[in-house]
Amino acid sequence: TGTGLIASFGEMLIDFVPTVSGVSLAEAPGFLKAPGGAPANVAIAVARLGGKAAFVGKLGDDEFGHMLAGILKENGVRADGITFDQGARTALAFVTLRADGEREFMFYRNPSADMLLQPEELNLELIRSAKVFHYGSISLIVEPCRSAHLKAMEVAKEAGCLLSYDPNLRLPLWPSADEARKHILSIWEKADLIKVSDVELEFLTKSDKIDDASALSLWHPNLKLLLVTLGEQGCRYYTKNFKGSVDAFHVKTIDTTGAGDSFVGALLSKIVDDQTILEDESRLRDVLKFANACGAITTTQKGAIPALPKEEDALKLIKG
Ligand code: ADP
In the chain, pLDDT over 70 holds for what percent of residues?
100
In which band, very low, low, confident or very high, does the pLDDT at 257 lie, cut at 50, 70 and 90? very high
* Distance between CA atoms of residues 124 and 49, nearest Å: 25
pLDDT at 103: 82
* Distance between CA atoms of residues 292 and 319, nearest Å: 13
CB of residue 232 inside a 6 A radius of ligand 1: yes
* Residues 6+ positions from 271 with CB-CB distance below 8 Å: 2, 132, 162, 277, 278, 287
* Distance between CA atoms of residues 57 and 68, nearest Å: 11
Centre of ligand 1 to C-alpha 22, Å, is 23
pLDDT at 110: 85
- Take atom 4 of ligand 1 and give the residue whose Cα is closest: 197
CB of residue 41 inside a 6 A radius of ligand 1: no
In which band, very low, low, confident or very high, does the pLDDT at 6 lie, cut at 50, 70 and 90? very high
Centre of ligand 1 to C-alpha 26, Å, is 30
Q: Which strands sit side by side in the sheet containing 103-108, from one edge to the other? A: 31-36, 13-18, 92-97, 103-108
- Please name which of 238, 228, 211, 215 lies closest in space to residue 263, comparing C-alpha atoms: 228
**Is 52 within 8 Å of 4 (Cβ atoms)?**
yes
CB of residue 295 inside a 6 A radius of ligand 1: yes
* Distance between CA atoms of residues 46 and 48, nearest Å: 6
Ligand 1 atom at minimal distance to the Cα of residue 246: 16
At residue 241, what are phi and psi to the nearest 5 degrees?
Answer: -105, -15
101 pLDDT exceeds 80?
Answer: no
CB of residue 260 inside a 6 A radius of ligand 1: yes
Q: Which CATH superfamily is domain 5-319 in?
A: Ribokinase (3.40.1190.20)
Give the pLDDT confidence of 192-229 residue by residue, as tens digits: 999 999 999 999 999 998 999 999 999 999 999 999 99
CB atoms within 10 A of CB 142: 15
Longest Cα–Cα distance in the chain: 54
Give the pLDDT confidence of 283-296 residue by residue, as tens digits: 999 999 999 999 99
Q: Strand 92-97 and strand 13-18: pairing?
A: parallel
Give the pLDDT confidence of 151-163 residue by residue, as tens digits: 999 999 999 999 9
CB of residue 210 inside a 6 A radius of ligand 1: no
Centre of ligand 1 to C-alpha 49, Å, is 18
**3-state SS, residue 89:** coil
* Distance between CA atoms of residues 19 and 302, nearest Å: 11
Q: What is the mean pLDDT of residues 295-318?
A: 97
12 pLDDT exceeds 90?
Answer: yes
Q: Strand 243-246 and strand 235-238: pairing?
A: antiparallel
Whole-angstrom CA distances from 22 to 26, 92, 108, 203 are 12, 21, 22, 27
Centre of ligand 1 to C-alpha 120, Å, is 36
- Please name which of 59, 81, 73, 82 lies closest in space to residue 127, comparing C-alpha atoms: 81
CB of residue 267 inside a 6 A radius of ligand 1: no
- Please name which of 207, 199, 254 lies closest in space to residue 229, comparing C-alpha atoms: 199
261 included as an active-site residue? yes
Q: How many residues does the chain have?
A: 320
ipTM of the complex: 0.98
Ligand 1 atom at minimal distance to the Cα of residue 249: 25
**Is 36 within 8 Å of 67 (Cβ atoms)?**
no
Ligand 1 atom at minimal distance to the Cα of residue 296: 26
**Is 134 within 8 Å of 14 (Cβ atoms)?**
no
The mean predicted confidence, pLDDT, of the chain is 96
> Where does residue 272 rank: exposed (0-12), middle (13-18), buried (19+ CB within 10 A)?
buried
Catalytic residue among 62, 255, 261, 313: 261
pTM: 0.97
